[in-house]
Structure 1
Amino acid sequence: MTEMERQFRRIADDAWSKGDYSVLDETLADEYVSTHYQLEQSFRGIDEYRALIESYREAMPDLTVHIDELVVAGDCVTCRYRVTGTHEGTLRVRGMEIPPTGKSVETPGISIVRFDGDRCTEEYNSPHALGMMEQLGVIPGRADEMGEASA
Structure 2
Amino acid sequence: MAVDASTAPSAVVRREIETVWNDDNLDMIDELVADEFTYHNPMIDEPIRGPADYRTLVENFRGAVPDYEMTVEEMISDGKIVATRFRATGTQERPLLDIEPTGAEIDITGMMFDRIEDGKLVERRVNDDAFGLLRQLGVVERQPF
Task: With the length of structure 1 as denominator, give the TM-score of the two structures.
Answer: 0.87
Query: 3-state DSSP class of the match of 1:98?
Result: coil
1:29 aligns to 2:30 (yes or no): no
8 A Cα contact 2:9 2:79, kept in partner: no
Name the residue aligned to 1:124.
Answer: 125
The structural deviation recorded for 1:39 is 3.2
Q: Once the 2 structures are TM-superposed, how far is the Cα of residue 41 of structure 1 from its aligned partner?
A: 3.2
Q: Which residue of 2 aligns with 1:15?
A: 20
CA distance in 2, matches of 1:18, 1:41: 26
Flag structure 1 segments of 5+ consecutive residues without an equivalent.
none
Percent identity for Structure 1 against Structure 2: 29
Q: Number of aligned pairs? A: 140
Match of 1:56 among 61, 77, 82: 61
SS at match of 2:73: strand
By percentage of residues, which structure has more helix? 1
Which secondary structure state, in structure 2, belongs to the residue aligned with residue 112 of structure 1? strand
Match of 1:6 in 2: 11
Richer in strand (by share): 1
In structure 2, stretches of 5+ residues that fail to align are none
Number of the residue aligned with 2:78: 73
What is the CA–CA distance in structure 2 between the aligned matches of 1:108 and 1:78, rounded to whole Å?
A: 14
Amino acid at match of 2:91: T
* 1:40 Cα deviation after fit: 4.0
Which stretches of structure 1, 4 residues or longer, exceed 3 Å deviation after superposition? Answer: 38-41
